[in-house]
Amino acid sequence: MGKYTLPQLPYDYAALEPHIDARTMEIHHTKHHQTYVDKLNAALEGKDDLSSQSVDDLLRNFSKVPQEIQTPVRNHGGGHSNHSMFWTIMAASAGGPATGDIADAIKDAFGDFEAFKEKFSTAAANLFGSGWAWVVVSNGKLELLTTPNQNSPLEKGQAPVFGLDVWEHAYYLKYQNKRPDYIAAWWNVINWDEVNRRLQTARQPAGTRT
């Protein structure tokens, strides 16, 4: 039994239907996410000084990870952190325009919500290969960016507010090659309450985050 463990989903596999199907959610959680956890634990075997940190702190302190295990920590630590975030920022009976502080922050940074949604969706659709589209707090400002593979914004000192998994495993069973359809559907399940909680944390100065 390794140090890092697969978190439970805060809802049933079928909860996000019809936008994200139950079979995709089950495989994504029990196979893909579990594999990131297992491979992260294998990479950190015997390195208790590193694995005593939360996975997010491990990535924030990436420069302290020995070079010979940087690649598995980036891939599988990133995979564990990214998916742990992803499950929580989705919910049943969610979606719609942003609410609360994130609505104001989006307006300040990107203009109106529909313009932002378009910009984020285009970035996610155009990302070549596998990766994530993100809204992060970077130097106190809200930014939209993408990362390849499972690379986490935490590694670069950016605080992820929310991110969208655009690996084919996230949508292929239901949407096949139609990634833009998956992205359009995903806006119906984004959990703005959790995004607002994460925004509050992301805006706290580094070092005081929990």
Residues contributing to the site for Mn ion (CB under 5 A): 165, 167, 170
DSSP state of 156: G
User: Residue 65 or residue 170: which is nearer to Mn ion going by CB?
Assistant: 170
User: Residue 32 or residue 209: which is nearer to Mn ion going by CB?
Assistant: 32
Q: In whole angstroms, how close is the CB of 111 to Mn ion at the nearest point?
A: 30
H/E element holding 164? strand 159-165
User: Residue 120 or residue 167: which is nearer to Mn ion going by CB?
Assistant: 167
Nearest residue to the partner Mn ion, using Cβ = 165
User: Residue 155 or residue 165: which is nearer to Mn ion going by CB?
Assistant: 165
Tell me the two tokens of residue 9.
Answer: 């989903």
DSSP state of 52: T
Q: In whole angstroms, how close is the CB of 165 to Mn ion at the nearest point?
A: 4
Beta strands in 67-156 (DSSP E): 131-138, 141-148
Q: In whole angstroms, how close is the CB of 163 to Mn ion at the nearest point?
A: 10
* C-alpha dihedral sign at 10, 12, 18, 19: positive
Beta-ladder partners of 159: 137
Beta strands in the chain (DSSP E): 131-138, 141-148, 159-165
Q: In whole angstroms, how close is the CB of 105 to Mn ion at the nearest point?
A: 26
Please report where in the chains the tokens 């596999």 appear, as a residue.
13
Q: In whole angstroms, how close is the CB of 167 to Mn ion at the nearest point?
A: 5
How far apart (Å, rounded) are the C-alpha atoms in residues 16 and 116? Answer: 23
User: Residue 86 or residue 120: which is nearer to Mn ion going by CB?
Assistant: 86
Hey, what amino acid is at 142? L
Tell me the two tokens of residue 155.
Answer: 């590694």
User: Residue 56 or residue 165: which is nearer to Mn ion going by CB?
Assistant: 165
Q: How many residues does the chain have?
A: 210
Q: In whole angstroms, how close is the CB of 143 to Mn ion at the nearest point?
A: 22
